[in-house]
Amino acid sequence: MATTPAARRHDLTSARWAALQPLLPQGRKPGRPPKWDKRQLIDGIRWRVRAGCP
C-alpha cells in the first residue's frame, strides 16, 4: 500500500482508506502510470468539496 508523505488533519486516516480502497476500480489499461495515486485523488476531491474553492 502506498503511503502519503505527510498526513494533514483533513486527509483520510489509514483505517478509513482501508475501508474505501476495495470499493474503487482497479486500473487494467496499459500505458503511462498515473501521476497521483487514488488516495491523493480522493483527498483532493474531499478538500475541494469541503473548501468550496473555484
User: Residue 3: what pLDDT?
Assistant: 57
Low-confidence residues of the chain, pLDDT below 70?
1-8, 54
Q: Say what the pTM is.
A: 0.66
Q: Measured in whole angstroms, how far is the alpha carbon of residue 23 from the centre of its chain?
A: 12
User: Residue 6: what pLDDT?
Assistant: 58
User: Residue 23: what pLDDT?
Assistant: 92
27: cell is 486500473
Go through 13-50 and write b for each residue having 16 or more CB atoms within 10 A of its CB, e for each that does not: eeeebeeeeeeeeeeeeeeeeeeeebbeebbeeeeeee
Q: pLDDT for 23-37, tens place per residue?
A: 988 877 788 888 888
What does DSSP assign to residue 9? T
